[in-house]
Amino acid sequence: MKLVDQKVTNEELKEMSAKMFDGLVKAVVDVEEEIMVVDSELHADQEEYLLERGSKQENLWGINIYPEQVGQETWLEFDSMINLRPSQNNKSRGVEDENIRNRITAIVEKLVLK
């Protein structure tokens, strides 16, 4: 697991994705702190790590990054069990609020050197 609070290269993400099925890197993004954790088998482990660091649950969203698809619309996938939050009106594994999806995308684009 790696905390990304500065920058991570796409090459590093490609190395991480080689260990995962389907060429993806799981990540949890804190939309308030503008950080993310990558390189773990479960979004739940990344979420737990950020919660222990002081992040708030309502700011954490699980995504999948496809480093081989950087520059394409499909390089980010908003799909994680941790996103199921009826209390925040998010009733699916995706991120239903377009504003939150846009924030996540902007944060990931800022943190990943392409």
pLDDT > 70 in the chain, percent: 100
Q: What is the pLDDT of residues 74-105, one digit of tens each?
A: 999 999 999 999 999 999 999 999 999 999 99
Number of domains in the chain: 1
Mean pLDDT of all residues in 9-14: 96
Measure the CA–CA gap between 65 and 74, rounded to whole angstroms.
9
- DSSP letter for 73, please: G
Domain range for 98 is 2-113
